[in-house]
Structure 1
Amino acid sequence: MGIRAILSKPLAAWVKADIRKWSARPVESQQTVFQQLLQQGKETAFGRDHGFADIASHEAFRRQVPIRDYEALSPYINRVVEGEKDVLWPGQPLYFAKTSGTTSGIKYIPISKDSIPNHINSARNALLCYVNETGKASFLDRNLIFLSGSPEMYKKNGIYVGRLSGIVNHHVPSYLRTNQKPSYETNCIDDWETKLERIIDETLHADMSLISGIPPWVQMYFDRLQERTGGKPIKDIFPNFSLLVYGGVNFEPYRKKMFETIGKRIDSIETYPASEGFIAYQDSQRKEGLLLLLNSGIFYEFVPVEEFFDENPTRLTIGEVELGKNYAVVLSNNAGLWGYSLGDTVKFVSKQPYRLLVTGRIKHFISAFGEHVIGEEVENAMRTTREYHPEVELVEFTVAPQVTPDDGLPHHEWLIEFAKPPANLPAFERRLDEALRKLNIYYDDLISGSILEPLRVTPLKRDAFREYMKSQGKLGGQNKVPRLSNDRTLADALRPWYH
């Protein structure tokens, strides 16, 4: 056992003991964060505009600070981008995490000196929880690869701007840099396909033990490795590969093909990072869900999904949430986001400690006919259907409404790129439709009432989603395909790849 593995074990024990302390007092942990945020924010322009000095309770905060998405908060963010100080948080941010918004174009998410530990320490602690629970630490002595965006940054009015994964790359502890892949030079390559080939050059003969990234891009990395090696399973290319770290999308649609490509079962850790903050991570290999980070500079509110678009929705604190119910996440953090709608939906599966599942995006749904089908439902329907069709392997899929079909009634269209198609596509369609009807009673009513006809599957040509993402300049990195949408923008853009 090497020095990194040896030293990681006492550190992992210390981190786990600290987690036990704050997770055993969830309401108090969040109240402490809440008070700290208000105290530091009260002398900012936002704090003065919203009367922070007079806020002494969550009830008062709800009255004085409305829920805002990026577009609604942008008048303040734009002032920060222009270089003004003390607008949302004392001073200026260290960084802007640059992301692409669906309606706002480029978004600049502030990351402050106070919030950067949340991003860095949370990723570290996810690994240390694994070490503490399993006793496995030897992976730290071998090579680790992080498939991420470029670490290159530029300055905008004196503030560094870059992709979140690139910003975080600059804060990888020095003791891990000597065994981190790919090299800095390779990581700076913008074109994903060129970058991927260089990553393979650097890792093909390395002793890889941990691989981290968004599942579709990890799968592409594995596929290219197999092309280079005549179809070898990943376990034969990297005999010591033992830990997969992933996040960004639901892993279930990718799980079967991923592990078949690897050629063996290995441990995995799911994470829930966002530019706005590192929200949660899988702290146990034995327990369901991701541990919500309640003491890391983020104050959470949870809005029942069915109320989210109401004028005055319910805003719950951690002590008020219920198990098994879908909530939209609203956060306030120590980088100056206040009452900020993250856009994600979650469902709690445990309160001791608070663990959750990410169930989708609040704006990613289909309700063209009043059915309000969400991401969790389409993914669960697909998982159930594949249990009856074990021959099927997926690359990617998305779902859209077809309101004006050339023939028949309106329906949901599932655009699917198969690695291995079903032996009987009509039977697959029927099973998929039955599964979705069981999950969503409104959809079931529309089918029963002959308002909709059962869903239709449109198989796509090989590499359809890769080529589409490439055409949009979103190949690789932290980019991901929306699982479903309420219009046909994506479906129509995929038309060149229809079979």
Structure 2
Amino acid sequence: MNRPLETQLLRLKALLQKNAQTAFGKALGFESISSYEEFTRRVPLTNYDTFKPWIDRIREGEPSVLTADRVTHLIPTSGSSGARKLIPFTTDLQREFHAAIAPWLVDLQRSFPKLIGGPAYWSITPPATSAESEISAVPVGFDSDCAYLGGARETLVKATLAVPPEALRSIEPEHYRYCTLLHLLRCRDLRLISVWHPSLPGLLMDALPEHWERLLADIAHGTDQFGALAMRPLPRRARELESLDPREPSALWPHLSVISCWADGPAALAARELRRLFPKTVIQSKGLLATEGVVTLPFASGHPLAVCSHFYEFIDDSGRATPCDALKAGAEYEVVITTGGGLYRYRLGDRVRVTGRLGRTPSLQFLGRAGNVSDLFGEKLSETFVAEALRELFAEYSPRFALLAPERWLHAGRYTLYVEGIPEGPWAERLDRILRRNPHYACCRDLGQLHLPRVVFVTNGHGAFMKRFIDAGRKAGDIKPAALSCLCDWEEHFSLESMPDRARRENATTAF
């Protein structure tokens, strides 16, 4: 933590030397690169389109294309355009993930000793479906997220799983939720929940009242209504649960110490709702991870850059890329990574803010996607700006879901806020006042290009948001939270809240 630049330059040197004789390394002259400045001259900033022809060669079975290490898997993910990407996975990339995950786990157990040896729920996302048959000499995808760890670490994590991966083989959402709840409820001693999006525990808790009686019966008899696994009957646990209220989830797991999830940027509002559901549990903001690599890790009450993993650069507002030692407190940057998986100067597409330092290593906060900008008429609304606007708009509330999206309307346009879990109010006018702080938006409003925003109340908002992308072939763990979408047809994907349901909810909120 005290020599980040020295550590980073050594990592860059090792990557270039190791991969100098690959097809990509020869094409860009890795062997003669002796400094960071030479590296930036030889290797341009890249994106997935840069690497796709090279990855196609890997998929056809050609060795030593991007890395000297053998590519063991190609991991599917997707970008902001929605097109599928295949990310090479190697043993070197696996070691880079370990270099970040291991200190996080040590710090987590040091901060919360009761976690040691206790069962945990690690979100194992169902595999994405694809209409295409896979034609690849390299396996595409893992059976479960645990395979990222590999070896002894994978075995160790599987030994503490409250929900075994084999229980979640089905990709039917209802089966997935039911089986997850069944195994979690069986596990009275649950200590840790680690998920990606903070709304996932809320979605699971929503399903509890509907399935409560069936779940208790399955727990008592060791059955599963889907017949997936044979389990030991737990009649005592069933009787204990029978005395509890499924609408008060914090009482169901008395030893639950930590929930680790995204809690920054667009995920902040959902994290606030999660804190309301589990008031006695610490909500730890997860570090910034992607399929391509890891950027930060939770450690010592901060989120320091994972300097022992990849080599990192940061693009400032002027478009200049710099290494980590040049970062300024309070400034915002776009992240660029060079990894052992064969991605060089790869624009990850995430924006971060420097919040401080741990030793001399910068600590970073995730803000949102760098390229997510909605611009129907020149209003240039960025996700970072919208996420902050929604946090201000709902300062006194905890909406379960909130997404702003554009739409064409009356030969012009307007923005619609799809929201769940707040009472009626003059939200559209308040939102408009906040968005007008963006001068481009204000100009479009004054010119009549954009009408007043509208607010639409929805039910199961995050579930519908996830379903849209999962149906398009994405894995749940690859879908990052978003405060802003550039897509214009969201209303047909959401279920709108009925007036009677809204009245009942607002009466309940008032009574509370």
| Class of the TM-score when normalised by the shorter of the 2 chains | 0.7 to 0.9
- Aligned mate of 2:137, from 126, 147, 157: 157
Residues in 1 aligned to 2:158 and 2:287: alpha-carbon distance in whole angstroms: 21
Q: What code does the residue aligned with 1:37 have?
A: L
- Aligned mate of 1:398, from 355, 380, 403: 403
Asked whether 1:254 is paired with 2:270, we answer: yes
Which residue of structure 1 lines up, in the alignment, with residue 391 of structure 2?
Answer: 383
Q: Which runs of 5 or more structure 1 residues have no equivalent in the other structure?
A: 1-22, 308-312
Which residue of structure 1 lines up, in the alignment, with residue 171 of structure 2?
Answer: 190
Residues in 2 aligned to 1:274 and 1:221: alpha-carbon distance in whole angstroms: 24
Does the CA-based 8 Å contact 1:234-1:262 persist in structure 2? yes
SS state at 1:85 partner: coil
| Displacement after TM superposition at 1:224 (Å) | 2.5
Change (3 A) 1:62 1:429: same
After TM superposition, the score normalised by the length of structure 2 is 0.80
| 1:316-327 paired onto structure 2 within 5 Å | 316-327=322-333
Deviation per CA, 1:433-459: give whole Å up to 9, x if none.
Answer: 333334x34434544666544432222
Change (3 A) 1:334 1:167: same
- Aligned mate of 2:463, from 454, 463, 466: 466
Asked whether 1:366 is paired with 2:381, we answer: no
Residues in 2 aligned to 1:197 and 1:476: alpha-carbon distance in whole angstroms: 16
Asked whether 1:145 is paired with 2:128, we answer: no
Change (3 A) 1:66 1:164: farther
Asked whether 1:201 is paired with 2:170, we answer: no
Residues in 2 aligned to 1:131 and 1:224: alpha-carbon distance in whole angstroms: 31
Deviation per CA, 1:51-109: give whole Å up to 9, x if none.
Answer: 11222222222222122211221011111111111110004212222213454733211
Residues in 1 aligned to 2:138 and 2:409: alpha-carbon distance in whole angstroms: 53
Q: What code does the residue aligned with 1:168 have?
A: Y
Cα RMSD over matched residues? 2.9
| 1:37-56 paired onto structure 2 within 5 Å | 37-56=15-34
Does the CA-based 8 Å contact 1:151-1:187 persist in structure 2? no
| Displacement after TM superposition at 1:373 (Å) | 2.2
Q: Relative to total residues, which structure has the larger strand share, 1 or 2? A: 1
Q: What code does the residue aligned with 2:315 have?
A: V
| Displacement after TM superposition at 1:400 (Å) | 2.2
Residues in 1 aligned to 2:247 and 2:462: alpha-carbon distance in whole angstroms: 24
| Displacement after TM superposition at 1:167 (Å) | 2.5
Which residue of structure 2 lines up, in the alignment, with residue 13 of structure 1?
Answer: none
| Displacement after TM superposition at 1:278 (Å) | 1.6
Which residue of structure 2 lines up, in the alignment, with residue 284 of structure 1?
Answer: 300
Does the CA-based 8 Å contact 1:464-1:497 persist in structure 2? no
Residues in 2 aligned to 1:478 and 1:62: alpha-carbon distance in whole angstroms: 29
Which residue of structure 1 lines up, in the alignment, with residue 343 of structure 2?
Answer: 337
Change (3 A) 1:265 1:177: closer
Asked whether 1:456 is paired with 2:454, we answer: yes
Change (3 A) 1:200 1:245: same
Change (3 A) 1:248 1:255: closer
Residues in 1 aligned to 2:475 and 2:336: alpha-carbon distance in whole angstroms: 29
Identity %: 22
Deviation per CA, 1:360-419: give whole Å up to 9, x if none.
Answer: 11221223333332222212211112224x3xx4232222233x4228x63322222x12
Which residue of structure 2 lines up, in the alignment, with residue 58 of structure 1?
Answer: 36
| Displacement after TM superposition at 1:263 (Å) | 4.0
Which residue of structure 1 lines up, in the alignment, with residue 73 of structure 2?
Answer: 95
Deviation per CA, 1:95-149: give whole Å up to 9, x if none.
Answer: 22221345473321112111102223422321322333x3x21122221001122
Asked whether 1:224 is paired with 2:224, we answer: no
Which residue of structure 2 lines up, in the alignment, with residue 429 of structure 1?
Answer: 428
* More displaced stretch, 157-166 vs 202-211: 157-166
Q: What code does the residue aligned with 1:415 have?
A: Y
Q: Which runs of 5 or more structure 2 residues have no equivalent in the other structure?
A: 213-243, 499-512
Does the CA-based 8 Å contact 2:417-2:455 persist in structure 1? yes
Tell me the number of residue pairs that the alignment of Structure 1 and Structure 2 aligns: 453
| Displacement after TM superposition at 1:265 (Å) | 4.4
Q: What code does the residue aligned with 1:397 have?
A: A
Residues in 2 aligned to 1:97 and 1:164: alpha-carbon distance in whole angstroms: 11
SS state at 1:329 partner: strand
Residues in 2 aligned to 1:211 and 1:28: alpha-carbon distance in whole angstroms: 35
